[in-house]
Every structure is written in C-alpha cells, then in structure tokens.
A and B are shown apart, each in its own frame.
Chain A
Amino acid sequence: MEKESFVKRYGLLVLTGLVVGGAAVLLTALGNPANMGFCIACFLRDIAGALNFQRAGFDAELGAGIVQYVRPEIIGLVLGSTAIALARKEFRPKGGSSPMTRFIVAVFVMIGALVFLGCPLRMVIRIGGGDLNAVVGLVGFAAGILIGIVFLKKGFSLRRAYRQSMVEGMIFPALMAVLLVLVLAMPGLFQFSKSGPGSMHAPLLAALVVALVVGVLAQRSRLCMVGGIRDAVLFKDFRLISAFAAIFVAVLVGNLCLGKFHLGFADQPVAHSEWLWNLLGMVLVGWGSVLLGGCPLRQLILAGEGNTDSAVTVTGYVVGAAVAHNLGLASSATGIGTGPVALAVAVGFVVLAVISAINMQKLEG
C-alpha cells in the first residue's frame, strides 16, 4: 500500500492556512481593524449594517453607526469559490437538508460569535495577535465541538440534500456579484460608518482580490475551522487542524515582524475580557457549527459552490447579526452587551439541545 506523502496530505491545507494568515495581517496593515484582517462574523455583521438592518452605536452627528460597511472580503470569498468550482466542474447546486433548522442554528451561531467578538477564524487571528481572551474562546469552541460530536456519534444529521437547478444554485453567488456592482455604482444605497470598526477598512480592490485568492484556496483545500478539531477527534485526521495551526503561525510571525503582537488579556483590539461570555459564546459557535457541518468561512465557500442550504445559513448569520445588535446582545470593547445576553445565550443552548436531540436517527450502513 503506497503511503500518501506528507506534502500531498498536508501541503495544500498548510499553504492555504499560511496564505489566510498572511492575508489577515496584510488586510489589517491596509486598513482593516486590528486582529480583524478576516472575520466572517464581523464582516457579515458589517454588511447587515450597510443594509441598515442594524446601526449599533448610532451617532446622530455623524449619521451612522459604528459597524456598517459592505465588506468586499465576503463577496470575494464567495465569488472565488464559485469561479474555481465552475472551472473544475465542482459547482453542484443542491439543498433541502433542513434549511429552516439551519437558519435558526445560524442565528444563534452568530449571536454566540458576537458575544465573543469573532468567528472561529478571527479567534485564531486574535490568538496570533497575543489576545489571551481568544484562548478562552478556543476552550469554549473546542468544548462546543465536543458536545456536537456526542450528538454526531448518536446519529445526528440534518438529513440529506437534493440536487437543484443551476439557477437555484447561482442565486447566492449572483447576489454577491450584484452587491459588488451596487456598491461601486450606487454607493448611496448603503450606510457606511464614519467612526468605529466599520470605518476601518482596506481599499476595496485590494480586499476583493485578496479574498478571491483565499476563496479559491479555501474551496480547493476544504479549509474549515470546525472541521479541524472535529476530524482530529472523530477520525484522528489532522489535516484540517494543520491549516488552523498554519493560520496561527502566519499571523503570529506577521504580527511579530510588524510589532503588532501584544500578549495579554487587557486592552486587546475589538475584544473584551469577560471570560465567562467569551467561553460560552464560543461554545454556542462550536456546537452550532458542528450541527451545520462547517464554520462560517466554510459555509460561504459551500454557498459559492451552489449549496443553497449554506446560502440559507449565511442568511441566518446576517439576521443573527442584526438581532444581536438590535437587542443589545453583541459585545463591544467595553464588555458584553447591555441587553439580555445571559437569556439569549441560555435560549441558544436550549435551541441547540432540542435540535440536536430531535434530529438523531440510526444511520444506514
């Protein structure tokens, strides 16, 4: 039996991880908020803001909130995935695997991510910047994944998806393309922050090009932050987690070179130090993402490949972001939100537990 070489097994994933980490450092150097070169949760939240679904931190004088911007990174990731999937005949429209259940789970994954202040990708980027609050988040994330695995082993699945038409599969990528055209041709349609994280961004074209490259690599390598820990535990497969490690190393080295590495809990950029909420927020993200079959980044890439269940999931994230900000559930640099955060997180756990329990069935085979 020939043994797969180390390079063949890990090469593409490690390369993708290094590029994603490098891209994150680059985008921050070009203007994105600190430790937020890439953050799928934050960027979808900013898009929700640009569409005026939320205007957190609204300043009457400036006439805008603090997290409103059409992040071209999201558009680029999806379209990069679509382009390479079409080129390699991997674009396969499908859906129907419990879409509304996915929508609900996605809403709570987003609420959890905004309690913590970042998706799993930003969590790793924050750790690479020395933010120890994100290490607390990682503990919660891993715990959440372990809870999800317990249900997977008991036969959890959101049932199967079915083939759909090319038109159905292309709608989400087309929406992203339309969003890009509109932001270029009619920027007046959107709300843009004039202060706060939403006002900090890399130049549009640079962000778009970097994200297209990352989208292509992520589609080819199947990069997934949740899959990393999940597959290591379930199958002793360390391929995806090697990309996780590569992102960390690239961000760490980049930050050290630029003098942007600051180890500690206090005064970390766009982060708070309420450890319990950092932990619990990421338990929700980890658990929910196992139920969804992938992290927010992976959902964007799958939506780009024509998976309409993932497109529904991304829509759920956007709604979750609006809910989180409008109800005061999202955290900020000063601490957790002023709304019923504990209640929302508790409801999230109950919802995930019910969904996990009622979707267990004996697997065939």
Chain B
Amino acid sequence: MVDARGYSCPVPLMMLQNAIQTGKDPHKLEIAVDHQCAIENITRFGKDHGYQVKCSDYEGDFLLTLTK
C-alpha cells in the first residue's frame, strides 16, 4: 500500500504513478489519502487509465483500491 496521507497536491497522484510504473502488480494498487481533492484526482486518473476504483475507510482516512 502507498501511504500518501498528508501530502499536498500533486504528490499523491505522483506517488500513484510511481507505484504503477515500479510496483509489483500494476493491476492492483492501494493508496491511502486524507483529503477529498486527492480522492477525486486519483479516482479520475484511475478511471481514465482503465482501473476500477473503490474507496473505503482507513483509520479515519480513505483507502483507494484500483484494480483492472
């Protein structure tokens, strides 16, 4: 899981891009974020790149799961 909580824009999305390129499994990614703006950006980016995006609660913040 990528923990992007607390980072200002656009770092969370850059961390996700980085994970897609270098992570073990580019078909399933998890990223934790803590603000609405990051949720929207990552959800939109994920959908644009063919992922299904699911948002769930994570220690009072949010966990986005991207799969394809």
Show the binding face of A for B, using Cβ within 8 Å: 1, 4, 9, 90, 92, 94, 96-97, 152-153, 157-163, 222, 224, 227, 230-231, 234-235, 237, 292-294, 309, 363-365
Contacts and interface: CB of A to CB of B under 8 A. Distances in A.
Contacts of A159: 6-7
- Measured as residues with beta carbon below 8 angstroms from the partner, the interface class of chain B is 20 to 34
Contacts of A92: 34-35
B14 A363 contact: yes
A310 to B, nearest CB: 9
B14 A160 contact: no
Contact of A294 (B7, B8, B34): B8
20 contacts: A90-B36, A92-B35, A97-B7, A157-B11, A160-B5, A160-B7, A222-B37, A222-B40, A231-B10, A293-B8, A293-B11, A363-B15, A363-B18, A364-B2, A364-B15, A365-B2, A365-B15, A365-B16, A365-B18, A365-B23
B13 interface: yes
Nearest to B36: A90
Given A90-B36, A227-B9, 13 more contacts: A4-B44, A97-B6, A97-B8, A152-B14, A157-B11, A163-B60, A222-B37, A222-B40, A235-B45, A237-B45, A293-B10, A363-B14, A364-B15
A293 B9 contact: yes
Contacts of A227: 9-10
Given A363-B14, A364-B2, A1 B8 contact: no
B27 interface: no
Given A364-B15, A365-B16, A365-B22, A234 B35 contact: no
Contacts of B8: 97, 157-158, 161, 292-294, 309
Contact of A152 (B10, B23, B48): B10
Which of B4, B5, B37 is most buried by chain A, counting CB atoms within 10 A of its CB?
B37
Nearest to B60: A163
B13 A157 contact: no
Contacts of B2: 364-365
B34 A94 contact: yes
B13 A235 contact: yes
Contacts of A363: 11, 14-15, 18
Contacts of A157: 7-8, 11
A246 B22 CA distance: 37
